[in-house]
Chain A
Amino acid sequence: MEQTKIIAVTVENQPGVLARVAGLFSGRAFNIISLAVGETEDESMSRMTIVARGDEGVLEQILKQLNKLIDVIKVVDMSVEKCIQRELALIKVGVDGKSKQELMTVVDIFRAKVLDVSNESFTIEVTGTDEKINGFIDMVESFGIKEMVRTGTIALTRAKKTKKQEAKGESK
């Protein structure tokens, strides 16, 4: 059965590392949904967040193959960790036909933000899990999406909490 996995990969901050990871996915016909790369708290390392799809065997291979790359320092399967995940999307939505008010309601519900306004379109920023973003896209589709860009998911494990905090349902 196909599943989606979020994988956090800590890599050496060196040229060529992205090509190695990308080459691994294309060369072995692994399915990649999104990839986000950026610096970390340690400037000698970068962190890639990869969302991949496949059956159990394929996903296991992906984790192992990533681990096998010499420039990869650590691989964490975020699906077995408690984690916070976020993605950001910028969406240019047409506003000629439908009511702007209606659009603003959707924007409010999703706690999205309007960044740029013209007579023809609104450019909206929305962040959240990819499900939330997909949900938002569904809602604004009928207005007409003129252009869209998404960052891909990034994720961090949640801080370990004491039993008491957990019981209270605290999260930060």
Chain B
Amino acid sequence: MNGSQILLECLKKEGVDIVFGYPGGVVLPLFDALYAEKAINLVLVRHEQGAAHMADGYARSTGKVGVCLATSGPGATNLVTGIATAYMDSIPMVALTGQVATSLIGNDAFQEADITGITRPIVKHNYIVKDIKDLAQTIKNAFHIASTGKPGPVLVDLPKDVFTSEMDFTSYPSHPNLRGYKPVCEGNKLQIKKAVEMIEKAERPLLYVGGGVVLSGASEELMKLVEKTEIPVTTTLMAMDAFPSDHKLNLGMLGMHGTRCANYAVQESDLLIAVGARFDDRVTGKVADFAPHAKIIHIDIDPTSISKIVKVDVPVVGDAKNILKEITSQIKKMEHKDWVKQTEEWSKEFPLTYRDSETEIKPQYVVEKIAELTKGEAIITTEVGQNQMWAAQFSKFKKPRTFLTSGGLGTMGYGFPAAIGAQAGNPDKLVIDIAGDGSIQMNIQELATAVKYNYPVKIVILNNGWLGMVRQWQELFFGKRYSSTFIEDSVDFVKLAEAYGAKGYRIEKKADVEKTLKEAFAHKGLVIMDFKTSREENVWPMVPTGAALHSMIDGGLA
């Protein structure tokens, strides 16, 4: 067998049935092998960045490893933003890149780029395979690294001659050979015991839940702990779908655009139980004033995550699922009546809200309607900016892996290709990209991909004519000097949809919002809905950068 065929055999052994990719010179032999391959579906994208985000969306929505493929040089460098996006949010992904022949490496050969060098700081690990003998073991290692411990992207660079050289291929290695890699999954018994004692003693405990709970598949374990202990929950942006939105102990998102209730609870709590969360600066606000009265327990699979930003009292390194289960089985049944009552009062006094209007379409209104119509059954992806925050604030989630958003890197242009990837992995689900008119243009070319493969993604553009989130900052912190953020009506999205063979709607009246959403959701193909929303709406509440969590501003809403 040649290297291309061996690679495909390895991918099949890893259960890969879909690869998002784009061809080019050095990967021609691989594409040639794919031509005859029935078990692996290659989705031909229109830009390699799209392929990376699709693999990412596929991974986030299914829990499996996403795979993308690009040629050497420009193909590989086009993947970079997508790889960095997956890295920041700990998404399991394998990126395969072609490379110039081993004999040419280092010669500034045609379409040569040192992609392992370029991606070193944004991958969990990367490889260059210089000998066909190492190919199968490397693929085994790559999938193992990507999907275990703290997940992340792994890049495998494959020189042209590795695809074409021949070797007997008898069996796929059964084990990775990685003596330096042993992620800890079981929590230390003593630490768990300490955590249990601390939780039992606390009067105002709060669960601060992050993306690690989704990655670990620990939503059920979290629910059991909450039900046994009556501890309120706040989630990060990455964990909006880790715990049902309408649960009475869910205080909503914390952090910069979190709920007042959640942020007040952090500031008042006497014990913060962080689970799979990494104390991001969007969450902590001013670190010195973060959770000033609280002892902190931190459950995380990544030792470097612990005490990186905030010093914690009881670290428990390991998989959230195991540890939550262990804690729940050891802990006594508890109630926190007064504390819960306090959080209910905050919720009542400071609900997430907006000033609705009869003449304009409010972006929040559109998101609320989507939530009403989809009842937590859809997969929602987002772009970046205000659209993302409104999607997080006003959507209602029921199940994990239904909210896909670029949190760590904040990549505009993520949402649409991620939605395509999610649709590929969940053919029967309704997949909606909540977008801004700026972000959607960053990977708009993937319309062709979605239409070609009939991925019936629904794009909801909250079109405010601005790079809205940046405009909001200019309004609040730069004296309304709107430098380069105005992008008013430069595109006719209805015509654009039609140009790609999709369906387009322009919605200018509030009365048409619900009707159009229903029509679009019932439509079998891809739809772009261009909602002309109120121009200068802001995301509230907000913790200004550098302020403490409780010092929230709300533009006079409350």
Contacts and interface: CB of A to CB of B under 8 A. Distances in A.
Report the contact-size class of chain B (Cβ under 8 Å from the partner): 10 to 19
Contact of B180 (A23, A27, A57, A70): A70
A87 interface: no
Interface string A60-78: 1100110111111110000
Interface in A29-88: 57, 60-61, 64-65, 67-74
A65 B178 CA distance: 17
A60 B311 CA distance: 12
Interface of A: 11-12, 16, 19-20, 23, 27, 57, 60-61, 64-65, 67-74
Contacts of B556: none
A60 B116 CA distance: 27
Interface of B: 116-117, 120-121, 124-125, 128, 145, 178-181, 302-304, 307-308, 311
B180 A72 contact: yes
Contacts of B124: 70
B180 A60 contact: no
Nearest to B306: A64
A64 B181 contact: no
B304 A57 contact: no
A69 B120 CA distance: 11
A40 B379 CA distance: 52
B307 A60 contact: yes
Contacts of B145: 70
B144 to A, nearest CB: 10
A90 B145 CA distance: 44
Sorted from nearest, which 6 A-B pairs have the closest CB atoms?
A: A73-B180, A64-B304, A70-B125, A64-B303, A27-B121, A70-B181
A27 to B, nearest CB: 5
Contacts of A19: 117, 120
Contacts of A67: 303
24 contacts: A16-B116, A16-B120, A16-B128, A19-B120, A23-B120, A23-B121, A27-B121, A60-B307, A64-B303, A64-B304, A65-B304, A67-B303, A68-B303, A68-B304, A69-B180, A70-B124, A70-B125, A70-B145, A70-B178, A70-B180, A70-B181, A71-B180, A72-B180, A74-B180
A148 B128 CA distance: 38
A148 B180 CA distance: 37
A134 B16 CA distance: 58
Nearest to A26: B121
A51 to B, nearest CB: 21
B180 A61 contact: no
Given A69-B180, A70-B178, A61 B304 contact: yes
A65 B302 CA distance: 10
Contacts of B116: 16
A42 to B, nearest CB: 11
Contacts of B311: 57
B313 to A, nearest CB: 15
A57 B307 contact: yes
B308 A61 contact: yes
B439 to A, nearest CB: 27
Given A20-B120, A57-B307, 18 more contacts: A12-B180, A16-B120, A16-B128, A19-B120, A23-B120, A23-B121, A57-B311, A60-B307, A61-B304, A64-B304, A65-B304, A68-B302, A68-B304, A69-B180, A70-B178, A71-B125, A72-B180, A74-B180
A141 B380 CA distance: 68
B48 to A, nearest CB: 23
Give the one of A20, A27, A65, A70 with max B CB within 10 A.
Answer: A70
Contacts of A71: 125, 180
B310 to A, nearest CB: 11
Contacts of B178: 70
A71 B126 CA distance: 10
A65 B308 CA distance: 11
A12 B181 CA distance: 11
